[in-house]
Structure 1
Amino acid sequence: MTNPLLPRPARTAGRILVWMLLILLVLVAAAVVWLGVRASLAASHLRAAESTARSVAADIDDPATVSERLPAIARETAAARSLTSDPVWAAAEGLPWIGDQLSAVGVVTAALDEVAGTALVPLIDVASDFSLDALRPVDGRFDLTGLTDLKPAAEAGAAEIGRAAEAVDGIDLGGVLPPLAESVADISALLHTVHDGADAVARATALMPRMLGQEGPRNYLVVFQNNAEWRSLGGIVGAMAVIHTDDGAISLSAQGSSSDFTKYTDPVLDIGEELAAITAGKPAQWIQNATQVPEFPLAARVSAEMWARETGTQVDGVLSLDPVALSYLLEATGPVALPSGDVLTGENATQLLLNDVYQRYERPADQDAFFELAAAAVFAALSDGSTDPGALVSGLARAGEEHRLLIWNADEAEQAILDGTTLQGGLPVTDAEQTSFGVYLNDGTGSKMDYYMHVGTDVQWCTGTTGAQEAALLVRLRDDAPADAADLPSYITGGGGFGTPAGVTNTVAYLYLPRGSELVSATATGGGPTPGFSTASDRDHPVLTWATDLRPGEEATALIRVRTPVTDSLLVRATPVIPGTSATLEGACAGLG
């Protein structure tokens, strides 16, 4: 019943207002239903795309199969994108709270559709005509056509996927429900994984043809690091070889040993005053110590210069491998028979090359001869065309991830292709996203006792005494040599030739703290009568030098705490050692125990 006290115009305006509110409520309800239905349908399409993607993952090594199934994935992501990009959805993204959820879903759906419907299509189309057999040499020559054809699609695909990953990373998750935020994080990780793969293909197709001599003959020095005698980058430089490439053809053109080199009175290169002070200048005077430098591009330039002075040959780049990386390659070649009667395999390569050979041969010349024969035999197996290309790629990738395969190109433009990859072997990176320590181990015994050494590391964010955040690094060294280590052959123990008694292992560790960080505390236990550190710096990295002497069964521990801005990731880069002799510790914040 209308209120008779209100004048007629007022009563009419009231009715209009009521009807407008009713209409608005109906529209809002309809919009909510509309958004709910579309969100449900979009989720259904994304689940279907995920299901197909998982089945494709099982056949990822078969580009033809992937090419056949990709359109089905793209259709599902396109349908989901259409459902989450209409005007109603776009308008609702501006609403408080619910808009955060809808915006996150919309960005993720669009990113996935860009990858499945745009970025991967040309790459998969080209890859479907590419066989891993193209990575198998025929009569010592690689066919470079397939790699060249892949390059444009790989570069474009990597760029598109990178943009999609950045879009998802840019989502503000502050107001997003935890389950949705978790899904966004998972998709972000997935996109970065896909981008890393596409980026690796793009870099490989850009660099490999050049290194294989597509644009003219090349010569590459390969240095083999011996992990039984630690150096910052892995081990002492022992055997060496030069690989010649020309229009895809590869050949072993020279071999050598560190024993062929003498000490240079003057440094062959300026390695910088700071690093020269830390290392006593040895890397630029002894080829064996070139890898004492914790930065491979500099170590490579030193090695190349020494090779040029000894042989008169300038090289176009330097590659580094260790026996562990060699064992990964042997998984692809299969067993390799050596002239000595030994059969080198992925299972026995590390023990044979890092310990047995020193037990068997007393004379260094005989050891060098064995290493040269082994290197030549493995190279022959890699170049005769019988290698499993898939296993070879996997082995090289694993070696690269573990910093056992390092590459330096003299051409700066070619070296830049490797920027940001583990293959460059640069110093630890600290930036807005990550904080990194470096633990670089060096033998001071003049021995091969590091075959028996074990190392463990841990890094943690901790609350400091003032309430501020601190980063802690824990390093533990343990000598697991046999109790009668002093009775081992003198070439293994060092025989006391450098001041360390036979059976004792001296280690000099360079602990690179995050660039620009402030040292809070440094404590050491074990490893000698006066454990402690000397301090220095190298290119804005505070550096602690920690020396230890360990007998069989003994261990030493260092705990470092620094003040540095908190980032998403806290990492430690350590010298690659023999598998099974490294471990991840726990409890850096707890202190020494």
Structure 2
Amino acid sequence: MVLAVLVGLTVLAAAWIGIRGALAYGHLRDAQTAAVAARASLADPATAADAIAEISAETAAAHRLTSDPVWRAAEGMAWIGPQLRAVSTVAASLDDVAGSALAPLVDVASSFSVDSLAPVDGRIDLAAFTALEEPAAAGAAGVRDAAAALDGLDRPALLAPLRDAVDEVSDLLDEVQVGAGALARATALIPGMLGADGPRNYLILFQNNAEWRSLGGIPGAVALLSTDDGRMSLAAQESSGDFPTYDTSVLPLGPEVQGIYGERPGRWIQNVTQVPDFPLAAQLAQEMWARGHDGQRVDGVIAMDPVALSYLLEATGPVELPTGDVLTSENAVPLLLNEVYLRYENPSDQDDFFALAAASVFDALSTGGFSPADLVSALARAGDERRLLLWSAHEDDQTLLADTTLAGGLPRTDADVARFGVYLNDGTGSKMTYYAGADTAVAWASCAAGPRGVTGQAELTVTVRNDAPADAATLPDYITGGGSFGIPPGVARTVGYLYLPTGFSLADATMSDGSGFGGGVHDGRRVLTFSVDLAPGESATATVRADTAEPSASVLEVVQTPGVTASAVPAAACGSAAP
């Protein structure tokens, strides 16, 4: 009789769990359908509120069905227990995100309009950002906790269909986590940066991609941006020629940096972006500005290039300059990086043109005559391509920036991705890299996946080209360098710095022209340096092979100097075909 009762209870429990599991599955699928249908309209907070409410109702029902005592008890059983625990964890995580993390944020955001980002009478209303800050931070924390709960599951113990479903939900939460984290950082940063707590000053470095530096190009022009209670103004504009050459570095560079780059980054404003570490570049620029402006220490440093400016012009539309030129998203790059040198022989006239262009675009932005949505897209694109960099002298702000592409830090290797760095610099003293190009590829030469990660050998190839016309020697001296540094006009010298991912060791490195490499170590990363002189039509290739000294992430990526054109390097996963 006892055995019969136990068998009966077991059958009833199995039926109970099976029925509730099937119902929970239906609710989760309905939630997924609602999420897919709503994705396209989630940019509208009012529509998002209704969508999140519908999704939350479905996930709440699934959570209730998979959290009763019978279900919980069954989670302790062998084999079936991990499967049930996975289902209940997915249901609870999604319910926490839809019902607890995002719903309050969407409620507040429903009263927010992206049009409020546009200045009115020269001022941006900061109240909207302040209202979003707390729910945005709570939402980001909720999504982060939900993602962590899924990461804690024993995935190898799951049946393949369930494991695939958990992976799918985990990927979804990772995607939501990126957006939620970005919103939380933005709402925490923007009010203070725009002077909500008092006036601030930011030094803007306009990088010139026609003369490569690791982070983009030389800072050819600078401006001082002042903010106060949402108002912005250009307080000063100067040329890099207004800065002196310092006898020694304005700040200590440390033995590793100095061993690779010498003291050049700390002696010339044009070279502060030579080290591919924007926090260091920004502090060097801050110190140089202070030395030339009665000790004024800016609150932060912003770097952008003409390509990023062209993205902003997609939001503002064409901008007419006092010279009569009309600056557009299509002509900004060739006009600012090449045509201006053909038009004006005198460098001071070139600097004046750059200043006019920057001031005119700023005026268009400050008057509010633009599409705020397009502006946000332009800024996001520039940030993703590392054409927009930001450093803050305020520690709390810099902490929020540290793990973003805006921070412009050294290439970071984590559990998911191993990152190489490919940084190119002009050594001609010219504007010849407007005609230069770089083709970069990365792949696993061999790899094997193990329980702690991937081991094997990665291969990086970097081909540098001089695509200048055959008669490049006849171009103006300001473009060719005029033979400075002993380099014939028309020839382009490129200096490269190749960073291996953290945890990788050098196996082999060759240059197609037979030259060798220098290098060193920078913050735990092996660095290889090379220099090539290329006549028009010539190219040279560096090939580097690196072994995993310890188990690594399975995906390889490259962080590369942004050039005149966007050129993303495809990632390579272990097991995928080489490009």
Do 1:458 and 1:588's aligned partners in 2 also have CA atoms closer than 8 Å?
A: no
1:238 alignment counterpart: 220
Cα 1:214–1:479, aligned 2, differ >3 Å: closer, same or farther?
same
Q: Decide whether the 8 Å contact of 2:203 with 2:302 is kept in 1.
A: yes
Aligned residues: 570
Residue among 453, 468, 478 paired with 2:465:
478
Structure 1 residue 183, shift from structure 2 partner: 2.2
Structure-2 separation of matches of 1:222 and 1:96:
61
Asked if residue 394 in structure 1 is aligned to residue 380 in structure 2, the reply is no
Amino acid at match of 1:241: A
Please say if 1:294 is aligned against 2:272: no
Structure 2 counterpart of 1:344, which letter? Answer: L
Q: Which residue identity is paired with 1:576? A: P
Aligned match of 1:159:
141
* 2:196 counterpart of 1:209: no
**CA-to-aligned-CA distance 1:433-485 (integer Å, 9 cap, x gap):** 442221111111111121222222233344389x9623332222222222222
Taking the aligned partners of 2:155 and 2:183, their CA distance within structure 1 comes to 32
Q: Which runs of 5+ in 1 are unaligned?
A: 1-15
Q: Secondary structure at the match of 2:465?
A: strand
Q: CA deviation at 1:21?
A: 4.8
Aligned partner of residue 376 in structure 1, secondary structure: helix
Q: Matched residues in 1 for 2:162 and 2:66: separation? A: 15
What is residue 540 of structure 2 aligned with on the other side? 556
Structure 1 contact 516–542 (Cα < 8 Å) conserved = no
Deviation at 1:588, TM superposition (A): 12
Q: How does 1:423-572 map to 2 (within 5 A)?
A: 423-463=406-446, 469-526=456-513, 530-564=514-548, 565=550, 566-572=552-558
Question: Residue deviations 1:147-204, cap 9 Å, x none?
Answer: 1111111111111110001111222210223332222222112111211111111111
Query: Helix, strand or coil: the match of 1:39?
Result: helix
Distance 1:35 1:297, change over 3 A: same
Structural mapping, 1:104-503, within 5 Å: 104-312=86-294, 313-463=296-446, 469-503=456-490
- Structure 2 portions without partners, runs of 5+: 449-453
Pair 1:581–1:341, CA change in 2 (3 A): farther
1:413 counterpart letter in structure 2: D
**TM-score normalised by the chain length of structure 2:** 0.93
1:257-306 alpha-carbon deviations (Å, 9 max, x no partner): 11112211122111112212312311111111111011001101111111
Report the residue type matching 1:167 in the other structure: A
| Rounded Cα–Cα distance in structure 2 between residues aligned with 1:225 and 1:196 | 28
1:410-453 deviation per Cα after TM superposition (whole angstroms, max 9, x unaligned) = 12222112121111111112344442221111111111121222
Could you say if the C-alpha distance between residues 392 and 432 of structure 1 is closer, same or farther in structure 2, counting changes exceeding 3 Å? same
Measure, in 2, the Cα distance between the counterparts of 1:379 and 1:179: 54
Could you say if the C-alpha distance between residues 569 and 468 of structure 1 is closer, same or farther in structure 2, counting changes exceeding 3 Å?
Answer: closer
Partner of 1:3: none
Q: Which amino acid aligns with 2:288?
A: M
Contact 2:420 2:557 in 1 (8 A): yes
Confirm or deny that 1:52 pairs with 2:39. Answer: no
Q: Once the two structures are superposed, what CA deviation does each residue of 1:24-69 show, in whole Å capped at 9, x if it has no partner?
A: 4444444333333222221211121122222322222211121123
The Cα RMSD (Å) is: 2.3
Query: Residue by residue, what CA displacement relative to the aligned partner does 1:533-570 show, whole Å, maximum 9, x if unpaired?
Result: 01312222211101112222222222222233222443
- The letter of the residue matching 1:92 is A
The answer to which of 22-31 and 200-209 deviates more is 22-31
Matched, 1:103 2:85: yes
Instruction: State the one-letter code of the partner of 2:313.
Output: L
Q: 1:187 to 1:246 in 2, by over 3 A?
A: same
Partner of 2:301, secondary structure, is strand
The 2-side partners of 1:474 and 1:586 are apart by: 13
CA distance in 2, matches of 1:483, 1:176: 63
Q: Distance in 2 between matches of 1:521 and 1:216?
A: 54
Q: Which amino acid aligns with 1:482?
A: P
Contact map agreement 1:462 1:472 (CA 8 A) in 2: yes
In structure 2, C-alpha distance between the alignment counterparts of 1:510 and 1:360, rounded to whole Å? 33
Residues 456 and 475 in structure 1, CA contact (< 8 A), matched pair in contact too? yes
Amino acid at match of 1:304: Q
> Which one has a bigger Cα radius of gyration?
1
| 1:207-251: CA deviation from partner (whole Å, max 9, x where unpaired) | 111111111111111000011111010101111111111111111
Cα separation, 1, equivalents of 2:141 and 2:566: 38
Listed one character per residue, the Cα deviations across residues 315-348 of structure 1 (whole Å, up to 9, x for unaligned) are: 1111000111111111111111111221111122
Tell me the residue number matched to 1:9. none
Letter in 2 for 1:247: D
Task: Please state whether the residue corresponding to 2:501 is helix, strand or coil.
Answer: coil
Q: Which amino acid aligns with 2:512?
A: T
> Share of identical aligned residues, percent?
55
Contact 1:220–1:242, Cα closer than 8 Å, also in 2: yes
Q: Determine the C-alpha separation between the residues in 2 that align with 1:464 and 1:202.
A: 38
The whole-number CA distance in structure 2 between the counterparts of 1:557 and 1:587 is 23
In the aligned structure 1, how far is the partner of 2:160 from the partner of 2:179?
A: 29
Going from structure 1 to structure 2, the CA distance change for 1:580 and 1:149 (only over 3 Å counts) comes to closer
The Cα shift of 1:486 comes to 2.0
- Quote the Cα distance in structure 2 between the aligned partners of 1:166 and 1:585: 25
Contact 1:456 1:585 in 2 (8 A): no
TM-score, normalization by structure 1 = 0.91
Residue type of the partner of 2:510?
T
**Is the alpha carbon distance of 1:193 and 1:431 closer, same or farther for their aligned partners in structure 2, counting shifts above 3 Å?**
closer
User: One-letter code of the match for 2:469?
Assistant: P
- My pick for the range that moved more, 552-561 or 208-217, is 552-561
Question: How far 1:96 moved relative to its partner?
Answer: 3.3
Q: How far apart, CA to CA, are the structure 2 residues paired with 1:436 and 1:355? A: 32
Matching of residues 14-93 of structure 1 within 5 Å: 16=1, 20-93=2-75
SS of the residue corresponding to residue 417 of structure 1 reads: helix
Q: Which one-letter code corresponds to 1:337 in the other structure?
A: E
Contact 2:276/2:410 (<8 A) preserved? yes
Q: Deviations over 1:128-161 (max 9, x none)?
A: 1111122111111111111111111111111111
CA contact (8 A) 1:325 1:404 kept: yes
- What letter matches 2:402 in structure 1? D
The CA deviation string for residues 62-81 of structure 1, in whole angstroms up to 9 with x for no partner, is 11121123221111001111
- Partners in 2 of 1:451 and 1:582 — Cα distance? 18
CA distance in 2, matches of 1:193, 1:246: 35
2:507–2:547 contact (8 Å) kept in structure 1: yes
**Whole-Å Cα distance in 2 between the matches of residues 126 and 229 of structure 1?**
46
Q: For the residues of structure 1 that align with 2:553 and 2:571, how far apart are their CA atoms?
A: 21
